[in-house]
Chain A
Amino acid sequence: MKEIWIITRRELKMFFNSLMAYILLVAFLGFTGFFTWIFGSDVFMVGQASMQSFFGIAYWTLFFFIPGLTMGLLAEETRSGTIELLLTKPINDWQVVVGKFLSTLILIAVALAFTLPYYITISTLGPIDHGAVWTGYLGLLLMSGTYISIGLFASSVSKNQIVGFLLALLIGIFFHVIFGILAGNFTGELSNVLNFLSVSTHYDSVSRGVIDTKDLIYFFSIMILALLLAEKVLARRRF
């Protein structure tokens, strides 16, 4: 556990020492703020004290931002060779992967925490469903975790960060929309399976305030599977 935390701390420091973290925060708050308050189906347009417009826009912003955060996490280590130095210290591949996963998840959590003023502001405008807001945040975190682990796997595959970015988007887009669209084009069992694979199905149900174990199992199994794959790819070098 301690080893994981050492890695997490280093990565977080790196995020905040480089411009990465600040760009993410500014861009994320800018986008979500713009579409929540000013433009499109914003709060005033809808005329309801609800965070739905925020959750809708965050759902897409995070999808695009996360691969940008994860793309270098492992690719850069293999490219520069620092992975060799790291893995000859008393730490194993799994701890490295999980440490990096947690650092990115914490960064996303920080970004989400900065949107709490939205919640406070809206709750003063009218009666808001507090439960739905919290589960909405939970849904965003679960979704972020899923894409972070997919991004880590993509980053482990190649030494090239761009490959890591594009591959993460490519895998991500299937979970994000394609499975959902395909599910609509089929019927019966296949449609159900595709629907179950789609992130939006589970995200919608969580953010509506229904926390079902089925949804939790879905998110956690993708996370664990992708992290395990990243670990396996890292271990490939040994042979």
Chain B
Amino acid sequence: MDIIVENLTKLYGAQRAVDHISFKVHTGEVLGFLGPNGAGKTTTMKAITSYLIPNEGEIHLGEFSVGTQPEEIKKRIGYLPEDNPLYNDMPVIDYLRFVAELQQIAKQKIRPRILEMVTICGLEGEKHKKIGELSKGYRQRVGLAQALIHDPEVLILDEPTSGLDPNQIVEIRELIKTIGREKTVILSSHILAEVEATCDRILIINKGKIVADGSPEELRKKSQGNELLKITIEDADANEVIKTLQSLDSVDWINSINDTDNRFELQSKAGDSSRRAVFETCVRKKWALTELSVVETKLEDIFHQLTMN
């Protein structure tokens, strides 16, 4: 089920939380929403779930319009809100039953479905505890379980891994990836590595506007520009290496990183790669090439670059 957001605008007083945002998410795609605090991620997500009514714009889930058919939308959406509000005085299993009933799951299917969610989300030992007694990580799992219980076609997860420990984060990411193969998932996060690890596509928004849209690789390519290599050449004189490599056509500049162990940093000219040329030169000169690696632009840098100005 595709999500189509057109021209979404949401005002809080005079402030534009979301400013004419348009994007599409296709079935089987996991979209990562990235942005600094207050960029409009949560507002956009709330508008998709029909919890907020936008000032302008249209949102469609498949053939259904969020504005005019909220009931149809709600049946098909699984939503994990930002700080995962839950009824603290309810036992986990009662709560899941309550949600299952609200989601109109057939009566005889409720029990097996709850047990399935308990297993998937790793709540086996906690299912009879009150939600208020759970640690943050387990609460987050309950939040995910309630979002997934009716097997929704669309999943909206607002910071799904906040408060989890590293092992749990890996588990939840795997879970989201698995789910994402057949469903449409939007998740938001501050953690860039997380978005990179789980999402097929990244949408960076800043001050209510989309500033970047693409797969992690595409984004990296876009901001990267020129190829940057790290190389180590042994059995050679550093000055000679610099002189020889500098004379290659594809090389923009080369610098020694460290004088003692012959490590160099080399930048190719725009749109060119000098990896092959470097290797061939070393073979010709009988130098031992012990390291040749491409330095990747980190998503952090892109994020920083796009959201700081």
Contact = CB atoms under 8 A, between A and B. Distances in A.
Interface string A71-91: 000000000111011111111
Given A84-B51, A85-B146, A90 B85 contact: no
A80 B49 CA distance: 19
Nearest to B71: A90
B81 A84 contact: yes
Interface string A12-40: 01100110000000000000000000000
Contacts of B51: 84, 87-88, 237-238
Contacts, number: 60
A124 B31 CA distance: 74
B9 to A, nearest CB: 13
Interface in B33-55: 46, 49-53
Contacts of A115: none
A89 B89 contact: no
B49 A88 contact: yes
Contacts of A91: 74, 102
B74 A14 contact: no
Q: Helix, strand, loop or mixed for chain A's interface? A: helix
A89 B94 contact: no
Name the interface size band of chain B.
20 to 34
Contact of B86 (A2, A85, A90): A85
Contact of A6 (B75, B98, B146): B98
Contact of A81 (B77, B83, B94): B83
Contacts of B94: 13
Contact of A89 (B52, B74, B85, B87): B74
B162 interface: no
Interface in B102-120: 102-104
Contacts of A85: 79, 81, 85-86, 146
B81 A81 contact: yes
Interface in A30-65: none
A80 B89 contact: no
Contacts of A13: 94
B89 A90 contact: no
B99 interface: yes
Nearest to B85: A81
Interface of B: 46, 49-53, 70-71, 74-75, 77, 79, 81, 83, 85-90, 94, 98-99, 101-104, 146
20 contacts: A2-B104, A10-B98, A14-B87, A18-B89, A80-B88, A82-B85, A84-B51, A85-B79, A85-B81, A85-B85, A85-B146, A86-B102, A87-B51, A88-B49, A88-B51, A89-B102, A90-B71, A90-B104, A91-B102, A92-B70
Given A14-B90, A17-B89, 7 more contacts: A10-B98, A80-B87, A84-B85, A88-B51, A89-B74, A89-B102, A237-B52
